[in-house]
A and B are shown apart, each in its own frame.
Chain A
Amino acid sequence: AQSVTQLGSHVSVSEGALVLLRCNYSSSVPPYLFWYVQYPNQGLQLLLKYTSAATLVKGINGFEAEFKKSETSFHLTKPSAHMSDAAEYFCAVGDTGRRALTFGSGTRLQVQP
């Protein structure tokens, strides 16, 4: 079964600094990969999705993620953090043939003024 590891349950950056949130998946077969964001007391909002069309995926709100098969990673980045980026971020993986997504445990991003 697929598994997802998000290194760092909490990440704190200054406003304007680079955001890097890490995600590693377990499969050797390129899966479908997602990043979702969750604001307090809300559901999950899709940031971006990797489906093998391109290794660098651009999402909403200035976020992007790069798929690296050799490292089984799909890290999320944003060049310049904004206060409104403070939220919980989840990496998820989908298998071909299964509809269920497997989520990581999440990384809470704090943005300091």
Chain B
Amino acid sequence: DTGVSQNPRHKITKRGQNVTFRCDPISEHNRLYWYRQTLGQGPEFLTYFQNEAQLEKSRLLSDRFSAERPKGSFSTLEIQRTEQGDSAMYLCASSSAGGGSDTQYFGPGTRLTVL
């Protein structure tokens, strides 16, 4: 059972550029989450998919951010016109449908540095 994988692991970009991150969840998991973690803080929720449907978005997800999960498998998170404040670790997690609060399993993250 391979875990959640994320690519790339590190991304350095210049302010104003667009970046895209990919997340591959655990194969049998139908729920997928994106979180952002800044230095010295806990992860903050960005958005959640069940299968291909995006069911919840945080107010942190500005209009420069877009996430997709076109076939209910992998997901991409795109940030347009990056700003220095976007520098953070972007974490993806997945879980399988179940009662109550199902356990989320996290990937290694993509560290974004905006110069």
Contact between A100 and B108, CB atoms less than 8 A apart: no
Best-buried of A41, A42, A99 by chain B (most CB within 10 Å)? A99
Number of interface residues of B (CB under 8 A): 30
- From the candidates A36, A43, A101, name the one contacting B4 in the complex (CB within 8 A): A43
Q: Which residues from chain A contact B100 at a C-beta distance below 8 Å?
A: 32, 51, 96
Contact between B42 and A99, CB atoms less than 8 A apart: no
B95, closest chain A residue (CB): A99
B41 within 8 A of A: yes
> How far is B104's CA from A32's CA once the two chains are assembled, in angstroms?
12
List residues of chain A with CB under 8 Å of any chain B CB. Answer: 4, 9, 31-32, 34, 36, 41-46, 49, 51, 90, 92, 94-96, 98-106
Q: Report B90 CB to chain A, min CB distance, Å.
A: 11
Q: Which residues from chain A contact B102 at a C-beta distance below 8 Å?
A: 99
A44-B43, A46-B104 known; 14 other A-B pairs, CB under 8 Å? Answer: A4-B42, A9-B40, A42-B108, A42-B109, A43-B107, A94-B101, A99-B33, A99-B55, A99-B101, A101-B43, A101-B101, A103-B42, A103-B44, A105-B41
